[in-house]
Structure 1
Amino acid sequence: MWTKIVPVTALIASVSLTGGTAYAAPTTPVGGEALGSRGLVAPAGVKKPPKTKATSYVVADADTGQVLAAKDAHGRYLPASTLKTLTALTLIPKLDKNRKIRPSRNACNQEGTAVGLSVKATYKIDDLFKALMMSSGNDAAMALAETNGGLAQTMSDMNAEAKRLQANDTVAKTPSGLDKPGQSSSAYDLALIARAGLANPEFKRYISTKTSTFPAPKGHYEISNHNKLLWRYKGMVGVKNGWTSKALGSFVGAATRGGHTIVVSVMRHEGYFWEEVADLLDWGFSVRGNATPVGQLVDPLPDAQAAPQPGASAPATQVTPAAQPPLLDTAAKKQTDSSKTVGMVVIGGGLLFGLIWLGYGIRRRRGRSRL
């Protein structure tokens, strides 16, 4: 019988840094105490979740919000293009999908994956959202951000939306997910964002579209969805995959069978994750309704509570909740399903030295997005 891991919490109540600044460790992680574990947490009395090479993952019942299993659910990692889920969720309600725009040269010249925007063509906002969520276009992400009032405004809006969703591990620095110092998300947050997106009919339409025509300066061409499971997995609804050389592979997806929807998110996967995600989805469907949840995907905050207070808003570049210390990343990467105790021991010392490291302002170099 598989036994649920009991997490270690509050290993360090606070750490004093040079200058007297103190960091207070949260007493209860969002979604429940068990989700604070760096190791695998799973329900007793049902079969063990299938193995995955992902450093962090969450399997949840999208209907009830119950987290069925997780590993390092709140570990903060570079999200790569899975961050585009937050971009879409934030901007879909703000932009008229029938509006036409001509993208700037800056948008058209974004590095990494692009749908091929041209300054000589005009595009409907609807087309740009398809390019964002189907083809993972970094050029489309920037065009949408500029249409929303500019990059700074969009970053502020995205971080406000993350706060509303209680996705507190998420810090958006780019609309595309291109690596940038201070940017982060977690498997828990990606599942939260995806669940909220599934409730939006337009978001759901974009992520579930397999192929579509896309305008060009002369005529049209066809684009296809990068989510391979739309073709391979029965009941797959969609959502988003991502990859950069620094973030490695990331994915958040949802599938519906028998009227029930399961969400799976994985982060920092070193290889080909599609089959492993399919196995996790299968496991979620097999145990839902029969397993004691290990946590909960929380509901969004009430609008009044989530809204910024007058005079309290800050530029987007200043929205920087504490990023996961690099040494915690290292501990998580080395942790396996059979080394949970070691992982939990490392977290205490890792937190101490990681915070001191952050105090000296060491920053990670920028990666390059391909998905």
Structure 2
Amino acid sequence: MASNTTAPPQAGRPGSGLTAPVTAGVVAAVVGFSSSFVVVLAGLTAVGATPAQASSGVAALCVAQALGMFWLSGRHRVPVSLAWSTPGAALLASTGAIAGGWPAAVGAFVVTGLLVLLTALVPALGDLVARIPPSLARAMLAGVLLPLCIEPATALVTSPLLVGPVVLTWLVLVRLTPRWAVPAALAVAFAVVVVAGEGVHAADLAPTLALTLPAWSVPALVGVALPLYVVTMASQNVPGVAVMNGLGYRVPWRESLGVTGLGTVLAAPFGGHAVNLAAITAAMSAGPEAGEDRERRWVAPVAAGVTYAVLAVGCSALTTLVAAAPDGVVQAAAGLALLGTLASSLTGALAAHEDHLPAAVCLVVAASGVVVGGIGAGFWALVAGLVVRAVLRAGRPST
């Protein structure tokens, strides 16, 4: 059954045409893509992808998001927006090389999608994820993001002439028009690449898809699939629903999980790591910017889907520019893109006073990048935080 908005329709009011939702959808897609695609490239490359495979992964995610938005928004007439998991990509970037290489990473992506599908079919699994203290989930994400967010500072010191314009652009626009601060900083970074980077070959600009047969290893499943699933659910899907509820829309929850889980499974062999509900760009496609007629805002995610399909064609060219960049330039842009997420993660990690110490332990373990038994720091951070939390609460009456 199609979902309906909880607020009364406002058809016929000024601005109820299609121009506003189409424009909002295009802007949401451009901002969402440009603000984080370098983070996704960094994450995929860190776990073993070649530039061609990383480019393929970004393109596959764009297509999966587009198809999912076409289905959900068109079927339910609700502005449901999808995105790739930027926190998940940051997790991959901090994880680094894994046992089994890129095929094992692809296998972990498949399992992540299957876990999301299973959550749609078995609500108890979602309840289990919900039992992870939000403070620890946020602390793990903050620890994962911290090394990446340090990049602008270190790159500015080592290459001030190249990185300085990127940081300055971000600083000026974050004051004047925050939405465009990161895209503009990235545009400046690409300008630096053109001026100071290595040569770009025309053959590398053609769009490609690279198929990889998945492989499975215990370290990849425990160290990549499980943390990626937790981060995607806790940092993207749940906030995405909250944003939509705040705007007066009811998300078809189980169907959305089914669509994003299936999208992740299908995109994984081409290098895509995770598709999920959007949070930030959801507000752009479902809020007042998408028009006064609430009944027509579902057009915005459809327009965003078309835009993502177009952007998928240019992924190889953008990846080539990133590969040609002088060291530190693109990393600085990626770090700037994640500062807002880091700030909100730190706030959430320290929201519960009684969990300050477990959250701090979780954060520092995640930031350490330690690998034990081939399993990355994201998993061990949650384990460490839960252990400290259990020790501190031992013998206390439950509340």
**TM-score, with length taken from structure 2:** 0.27
Structure number with greater CO (CA < 8 Å, separation at least 6) is 2
**TM-score, with length taken from structure 1:** 0.28
